[in-house]
Amino acid sequence: MRFVDEFRDADKARSLAARIASLCEPGRHYKFMEVCGGHTHTIYKHGIEDYLPETVQLVHGPGCPVCVMPMGRVDDAIHIASQPDVVLTSFGDMMRVPGGRGSFFDAKAAGADIRMVYSPLDALKLAQKLPDRRVVFMAIGFETTAPSTAMTLLRARQLGVENFAVFCNHVTIIPAIKAILDSPDLRLDGFLGPGHVSTVIGCRPYEFIARDHAKPLVCAGFEPLDVLQSVYMLMRQLADGRAEVENQYARVVPWAGNRRALEVIADTMELRPYFEWRGLGFISQSALRLRPEWAAFDAERIWPLPGIRVADPKACQCGEVLKGVIRPWECKVFGTACTPETPIGTCMVSSEGACAAYYNYGRFTRQRVEEAAR
Amino acid sequence: MSGVRRRINVGLLTDETIGPGDWILIHVGFALSKIDESEARAALEFLEGIGQAYEDELRALQESP
C-alpha cells in the first residue's frame, strides 16, 4: 500500500540504526518513552528494539485507551447493559477487558445484550434499526477518537434519534504525560509523540515538555522507519543540546491539528474535574464528559452509576507497565496466569497494550537472545 | 480500504478538498487527515539521503588501508 510499504524498507532501517548508533555518547544510556500504544505495537511487530543499540531503550507509555480503563468503569458499563431494553455497544477491544465482576463477554453470556461495533456511527444506525431499545455506545479513546463520538452525537441530534446514548470515557493525553513527567520512578531522555492524537490536537500542546522539562519530543508515525527516524531525530537533538518539539509525521500531522475536530469535541464535551486511570490513579482534568446540554444523550445521567472503585488484582502490575517502570516480562504473571486468551490486566487485552504486543511478537526473540548469551 | 468497501464520514475534513485518488487517514469510520504527498516525499528523500551517506561511509571504510 502507498505511504506504508515505502516506510518499511529494511536497508533504510539499517542505515538509520547505524546513524543512531553513531550519535550515542559512550557510557550514556538513553530512555525514550513512546506515549502511544500504536507505537508499542509497531516496535514489537517489526522487532525495532533489535535494530537499536543496547544503550537506547524504548519505554512504553500510557497511550493505550483500553489499558488505562479502570476496572470500576467496566462494572459501570455492565450495570448500564443490564438495565431494561438496553443494548450496549463498544469497540471489539473492550470485550475482554476484565472488570471487578467479569468482562463484557461474561456479561453477554449471562444474558446482557452487548455488541461490538467498528464505528460509533454503527451504534447510531443500530439505534435507528431498534426503535424499541435504548442503544448505548461506550466511548473510549484519546483525542483521536473523541471527534468521532462528537460527530455521532451531532448526527443523532440532527436525525432526532432519541433512543441513542453515549457512555463517555474519553481521556486526554497531555495530563497523562504530565503525570509521567512528575512521577519520581522514571527518568526519561525524550518522547516519541503520539502521531494520531496529534492529527487532532497538533504539535503545540507538547511545547511545555521542551520548555519546562527540557526534554525533546518528536511526533512520530507508525511504520518502522517512522519510529526509527523519530529516534534518530531525538538523538540528534540530544547531541546538539536542543530540546524541541519536532514533527516526523508531517505527511499526516498538521502542526496546528484538525480545527474542525477540536470544535466538535468542544461543542459536545467538557473536561471532568478528575478521572481515575488504571495504574496512574486519579488525574485532574484528564477526561471528557458530555456537556449538560447533551444530558438526554448521556448514559451517566440517564442511569445513575454505582461508580464503585475496584482495586486491581494484587498479582497484576499493569500500573507499573503503563508508567514504564517495569517491562512486560518483568510482571510476575506475564505469559503464565495472564495471557491474551485469559487476561488478568488490561495491557494483555488490547493489541496496543505493551504486554499483548510483547506476548504476540517479542517473547521468543528475547528467549533466543538469552540463550545465545549463555 | 485494502479491498474492503466502507462508507466513510469526511465531515472532519472541512479545511481541505478531497477527491478520488487522494489518500486519507481513517479512524473508526471517520477521515481524520488528508495525507500530504509532498511531506511524504520529503520524508522519503531524507531516508534516501541517510542510506546514501551510510553507503558512502561504508565504502570509504572499506577503501581505507
Query: B2 vs A1: CB contact, 8 Å cut-off?
Result: yes
pLDDT at A308 (0 to 100)? 85
pLDDT at A233: 97
Q: Which has more confidence, B17 or B57?
A: B17
The answer on pLDDT for A92 being more than 90 is yes
Q: How far apart are the C-alpha atoms of A338 and A356, rounded to whole Å?
A: 10
DSSP secondary structure string, A151-218?
A: HHHHHHHHHT-TTEEEEEEEB-HHHHHHHHHH-TT---SEEEEEHHHHHHH-SGGGHHHHHHH---EE
**pLDDT recorded at residue A366:** 67
Q: Which residue has the higher pLDDT, A20 or A3?
A: A20
Give the residue-averaged pLDDT of A155-181.
Answer: 96
Q: What is the pLDDT of residue B48?
A: 86
The mean pLDDT of A58-81, rounded to a whole number, is: 92
Restricting to A residues 28-67, those with a Cβ less than 8 Å away from any Cβ of B are none
Transcribe A265-291 into DSSP letters.
Answer: HHHHEEE-SEEEETTTEEEET-BEEE-
CA distance A241 to A243: 7
d(CA A88, CA A77) in angstroms, rounded, equals 8
Chosen from B6, B7, B25, B28 to mutate, greatest number of chain A CBs within 10 A: B28
Contact A15, B54 (CB under 8 A): yes
Position A4 scores a pLDDT of 82
Q: Is B2 left (phi over 0), alpha (psi -120 to 50) or beta?
A: left
Q: A96: which DSSP letter?
A: G
Chain A hits for B15, CB-CB cut-off 8 Å, are 258-260
Residue A6 at interface with chain B, using a CB cutoff of 8 Å: yes
**Residue A147 in contact with partner chain B when CB distance is under 8 A:** yes
**CB contacts, 8 Å: B51 with chain A:** 11-12, 15
Report the percentage of chain A scoring pLDDT > 90.
71
Indicate the residue of A18, A151, A229 with minimum beta-carbon distance to B47.
A229
- Which of B8, B33, B56 would best serve as a mutation to test chain A binding (most A beta carbons within 10 A)? B33
**pLDDT for the residue numbered B5:** 85
Mean pLDDT, range B16-36, rounded to an integer: 91
Q: What is the pLDDT of residues A114-126, one digit of tens each?
A: 999 999 999 999 9
Q: Which of B15, B30, B47 sits opposite A259 (nearest CB)?
A: B15
Q: Is A148's CB within 8 Å of B27's CB?
A: yes
Tell whether A122 lies on the interface with B, counting CB pairs under 8 A.
yes
Residue with cell 456537556: A291
What is the band of A311 on the pLDDT scale with cuts at 50, 70, 90?
confident
Alpha-carbon distance values, A289 to A74, A295, B34 (Å)? 16, 10, 28
Report, as an integer, the average pLDDT of A86-102.
93
pTM recorded for the entire structure: 0.92
SS3 for B37? Answer: helix
- Which of A153, A218, A231, A252 best tests the B interface by mutation, with the highest count of B CBs <10 A? A252
**Of A165-174, A284-293, A321-330, B45-54, which range is least confident?**
B45-54
pLDDT band at A283 (very low <50, low <70, confident <90, very high): very high
> Closest to B33 (Cβ–Cβ): which among A120, A229, A258?
A258
Cell numbers found for residue A303: 442511569
CA distances from A345 to A165, A351, B16, B61 (A): 28, 13, 41, 50
Cell 505511504 belongs to A3
pLDDT at B51: 76
Yes or no, beta carbons of A148 and B47 under 8 Å apart: no
User: Cα–Cα distance between A320 and A16 in angstroms, integer?
Assistant: 31
Minimal CA separation from A334 to chain B, in Å: 30
Q: How many CB atoms lie within 10 A of CB A301?
A: 15
Q: Using the beta-carbon criterion (under 8 Å), do B39 and A250 form an inter-chain contact?
A: yes
In this predicted model, what pLDDT tens digit does every residue of A188-205 receive, in sequence order?
999 999 999 999 999 999
Question: CB–CB of A19 and B54 under 8 A?
Answer: yes
Q: Which residues of B touch A12 (CB under 8 A)?
A: 47-48, 50-51
Residue A159 has a pLDDT of 97
